[in-house]
Every structure is written in structure tokens, then in C-alpha cells.
Amino acid sequence: MENYLLLRIGHSVPAVLLLLGVLAHIIIVWRATTKEPGVLAQKLRRTRNISLPAFALLAVSLPISGWWMTHLTGLPLSQKWLMISIALLPLVFVFGGLLYGSLGRWQIQLAQQQSASTQQKIFALLWAVLLLLVLLATSAVMGAKPL
């Protein structure tokens, strides 16, 4: 298999896993809110300790493999679609960090046998949806590239 094709696959797989993973976790955690607090606390703990760090590693791999692909094809890094996708990447980490903190506060409230406020749940959902939207926008910009 050609190196460039293998690199494109290696760049696309983390992007798809990141999108689907965030969407799946939004659904899983939201559905767990209707269950008992112990189940929700376990979902939040797994999301914060395993999934979000794994998503961060996938997000870090995207600019590295993206730069490598543009380097192999000889594309200049000043192209508009590439600059927009690079500008959106810090937002992934900002919204991911805000989501991590929000889920942490929610988890602490559950550990203290308190129910989370509606505002806490809304902010957690807001950060997750904004993270998903930024990932979709980045994927759309990368999909619209001229190659």
C-alpha cells in the first residue's frame, strides 16, 4: 500500500473515532442520568479517567498526521482550509477541558450524595455539544480540501 494512502487512513481513523466517541459518550452519560446515582457516578468516572484522556491523544495525533500528509503532497501550509482547521484545534482542547471540569464537579456532587443541579447538567451538555460541533466543523473543513 502506498505511504500516502496509509497516512490518509491513519489520519481519518482517529478523526472518526473522536467524533463517534464523543457522540457515544454524550448519549451514554445522558441516558445514565435517569438511572441511580451509583451508575451515573461510574459512567462519569470512566469517562473522565479513560475516555477523555484517550480522546485527547486522538486529538493530538490529528495535527501531526495532518502536517505529515501536507508535507508529503507538497501543499503549502498557508492554504485557507488548513489554516481554519488549525485555528479550530485549540477550541477542541478548551471545550474538552471545560467538559472535564464540569464532569468532575458533577462527580463530586454525586460522591457527596447530592444531586447535580440542572445548571450543572446543562453546562456539561453544552461543553459536550460544543466539542462535538467543533469536531464536525474541523472534519467538514478537512473534507472540503482540494485533494
Q: How far is CA 75 from the centre of its chain?
A: 27
pLDDT digits 0-9 by tens, 106-141: 888 888 877 777 888 899 999 999 999 999 998 888
Among 31, 29, 86, smallest CA distance to 52 is for: 29
Taking residues 42-66, report their average pLDDT.
88
Query: Does residue 142 surpass a pLDDT of 90?
Result: no
All domains of the chain in start order, with CATH: 3-143 (1.20.120)
Q: Mind giving me the DSSP string for 77-108?
A: TT-HHHHHHHHHHHHHHHHHHHHHHHHHHHHH
Question: pLDDT band for position 64 (50/70/90)?
Answer: confident
